[in-house]
Amino acid sequence: MEPKAKAWGAMLKEFYPDNNSGIRVYSFELDPELAEIARDIVKLAGMSDIVTVIDGPGAESLKGLVKNGDIKPEC
């Protein structure tokens, strides 16, 4: 997991402590073992409500998030 994802999650959690606005940070990890470690770090940091670690290539995973309606592209 990029340290930036954890940093963004921490910053957003500070600005939006109740996360009522549904703010999310997605981190994409190619290696499933590293993704699991990253999820553990996110959980230990108390940021599971903001940061989501997804296994797989970023481009494909991002398309999946759009297709599932998890995120909406801004055009």
Q: Give tens-digit pLDDT for 23-74.
A: 888 899 999 999 999 899 889 888 888 889 999 998 899 899 999 988 887 7
Residue 20, CB-side half-sphere exposure with 13 Å CA sphere: 1
Is the pTM higher than 0.85? The answer reads: no
CA-only gyration radius of the chain, Å: 12
Distance from C-alpha of 16 to C-alpha of 43, rounded to nearest angstrom: 18
Q: Does 19 map to a domain?
A: yes
Mean pLDDT value across residues 10-35: 81
Query: Is residue 3 pLDDT above 90, yes or no?
Result: no
Mapped onto helix, strand or coil, the DSSP state of residue 19 is coil
Residue with tokens 């296994």: 55
**Residue 72 domain-assigned (yes or no):** no
| Predicted pLDDT of residue 67 | 92
Q: Does residue 51 lie in a domain region?
A: yes
Domain count of the chain?
Answer: 1
Domain that holds residue 49: 3-67
